[in-house]
C-alpha cells in the first residue's frame, strides 16, 4: 500500500486485498491505522495517534514491524509483518508529494530485520506496561531477572531525572547493606542494558551519572509524555476558541490513555504520585473533550464522555451536572431522570454520599423544564 503525509491510504494492490480482504475502493482515502488496526505480537498498540512509522516516514527513514497482527475485514487478526520504502525527495516533488511511503504487508515468517532502522525505545506505561524497539515488541514478562523490569519502571517514572543508586538499592533490596546492594544493582543494570540491545536498541538509553542512573529522555518515547503533551495542547487550543483543533488533540490524548499509569502495580507507592497526577490530567482532559463536543453540537458524544468518567469516578459531580444538561438539551428527559437516579443510588450505596444541593437544584430545574415542555407539547396536539 502507499501512504500520503496525512497517513491516508492512496494505493492498495491485489496483494494487500488478498491479505486483509479489503478492495481498493473500500480503503483508498481512509486512515492507515483505521484499516490496519495493528498491534504488536506482544500486545502493544502498533497503529496509534503517535504512530512510530509516520514519524520515520517524515524524517525520510525506513521502518518495519517484523511481527504484528492486523485486522482482517472479517474481524479476525492476521499474523503479518510490515516493511517500508520511503519516497526520495525528488520523487515526491515529481509526484506533487502525494506519496510519502510505500508499505509492504506480508507473511511474518518472511520478515527480516532492517539493520538501518534506528528508532527510539517506546515505553507504554498507561495500562499494561510494555516495550517496543524498531517495531518489535519486547517480552519483558519473560525476562529472567524481574528486578530489571522493576528498575526500568523506576527509571521511567522519573524520566530524564537521575536516581541515586542508594535510593534504588533501598527500594529494590530493603535492608541490604550498601556494598552488597551495589553489587546486585550493577548486575541488574547490566542485564537491563543487554536486554534492550538484544531487542534492537542501537543507543544507550540508561545513562550513568556519577552515582546515579537516569533514563535518557531523548532515547525513548513514553506514552505518558505524549498523552500529557496532547492534553496540554488541547487545553490551550480550547482557551483560544480553536475548538476543532482542540477536539482533535483531546481525542488523540484519550486514545493513548489505555489505563492508569503502571496499573499492573496498583499498590506500589513508588509511582503512586505520578499515577494520581496523570489521572487528574486525564479527567481534566475528558472535561475539555465533553465541552468541545457540546460546543460543536455533538451532544450525544459529549454525554457519552461524561458517562465514561462517571463509570470510573462517580464522585466527580461536575460530570453528572454536565451529563444531565446535555440530555436535557437533547430533549431526553427520560434518560436524564434514569441516569440521575442510577448515579444517586451508586453514590449512596458505594460511598455513603448524597448529591450536593447545587446538583439537586439543577436536576429539579431541568426536570421541571422537561415536564413543562412535555405539557406544552400535549396542549399543541389537542384538536382545534
User: Same fold for the domain at 120-292 and the one at 297-373?
Assistant: no
Cell 454520599, residue located: 353
Q: Which three cell numbers stand for residue 88?
A: 526520495
Could you confirm whether domain 120-292 is CATH 1.10.10.10? Answer: yes
Handedness of CA 26, 29, 34, 35 (dihedral sign): positive
d(CA 368, CA 65): 58
pLDDT tens digits for 54-110? 777 767 777 777 777 788 877 777 888 887 877 666 555 544 446 667 878 776 554
Portion of the chain with pLDDT greater than 70, in percent: 85
According to CATH, the topology of domain 2-110 is Beta-Lactamase (3.30.450)
**What pLDDT is stored for residue 101 in this prediction?**
76
**What pLDDT is stored for residue 343 in this prediction?**
95
Could you confirm whether domain 297-373 is CATH 1.25.40.10? Answer: yes
Lowest mean pLDDT among 11-25, 97-111, 277-291, 336-350: 97-111
d(CA 156, CA 152): 6
**What pLDDT is stored for residue 374 in this prediction?**
62
d(CA 22, CA 16): 8
Does position 220 have pLDDT exceeding 70, yes or no?
Answer: yes
pLDDT band at 380; cut points 50, 70, 90:
low
Domain boundaries of the chain, sorted by first residue = 2-110, 120-292, 297-373
Amino acid at each position: 500500500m502507499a501512504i500520503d503525509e496525512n497517513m491516508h491510504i492512496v494505493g492498495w494492490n491485489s496483494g494487500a486485498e488478498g491479505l486483509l480482504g479489503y478492495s481498493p475502493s473500500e480503503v483508498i482515502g481512509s486512515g492507515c491505522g483505521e484499516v490496519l488496526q495493528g498491534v504488536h505480537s506482544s500486545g502493544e498498540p502498533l497503529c496509534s495517534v503517535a504512530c512510530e512509522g509516520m514519524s520515520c516516514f517524515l524524517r525520510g527513514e525506513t521502518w518495519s514491524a517484523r511481527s504484528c497482527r492486523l485486522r482482517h475485514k472479517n474481524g479476525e487478526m492476521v499474523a503479518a509483518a510490515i516493511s517500508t520504502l520511503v519516497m526520495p525527495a525528488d520523487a515526491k516533488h515529481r509526484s506533487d508529494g502525494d506519496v510519502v511511503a510505500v508499505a509492504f504487508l506480508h507473511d511474518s515468517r518472511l520478515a527480516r530485520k532492517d539493520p538501518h532502522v534506528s528508532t527510539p525505545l517506546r515505553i507504554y506505561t498507561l495500562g499494561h506496561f510494555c516495550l517496543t524497539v524498531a517495531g518489535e515488541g519486547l517480552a519483558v514478562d519473560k525476562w529472567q531477572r524481574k528486578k530489571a523490569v522493576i528498575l526500568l519502571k523506576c527509571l521511567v517514572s522519573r524520566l530524564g531525572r537521575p536516581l541515586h543508586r542508594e535510593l534504588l538499592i533501598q527500594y529494590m533490596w530493603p535492608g541490604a547493606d550498601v556494598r552488597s546492594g551495589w553489587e546486585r544493582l550493577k548486575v541488574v543494570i547490566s542485564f537491563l542494558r543487554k536486554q534492550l540491545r538484544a531487542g534492537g536498541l542501537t543507543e544507550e538509553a540508561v545513562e550513568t551519572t556519577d552515582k546515579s542512573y537516569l533514563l535518557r529522555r531523548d532515547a525513548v518515547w513514553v506514552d505518558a509524555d505524549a498523552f500529557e503533551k496532547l492534553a496540554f495542547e488541547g487545553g490551550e487550543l480550547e482557551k483560544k476558541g480553536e475548538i476543532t483543533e482542540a477536539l482533535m488533540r483531546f481525542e488523540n490524548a484519550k486514545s493513548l490513555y489505555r489505563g492508569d499509569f503502571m496499573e499492573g502495580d496498583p499498590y506500589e507507592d513508588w509511582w503512586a504520585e505520578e499515577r494520581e497526577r496523570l489521572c487528574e490530567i486525564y479527567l481534566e482532559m475528558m472535561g475539555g473533550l465533553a465541552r468541545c463536543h457540546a460546543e460543536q453540537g455533538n451532544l450525544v458524544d459529549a454525554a457519552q464522555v461524561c458517562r465514561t468518567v462517571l463509570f470510573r469516578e462517580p464522585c466527580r459531580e461536575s460530570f453528572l451536572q454536565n451529563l444531565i444538561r446535555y440530555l436535557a438539551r437533547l430533549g431526553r428527559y427520560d434518560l436524564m431522570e434514569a441516569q440521575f437516579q442510577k448515579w444517586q443510588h451508586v453514590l449512596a450505596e458505594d460511598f455513603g454520599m448524597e448529591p450536593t444541593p447545587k446538583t439537586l437544584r439543577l436536576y429539579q430545574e431541568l426536570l421541571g423544564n422537561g415536564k413543562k415542555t412535555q405539557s406544552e407539547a400535549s396542549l399543541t396536539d389537542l384538536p382545534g
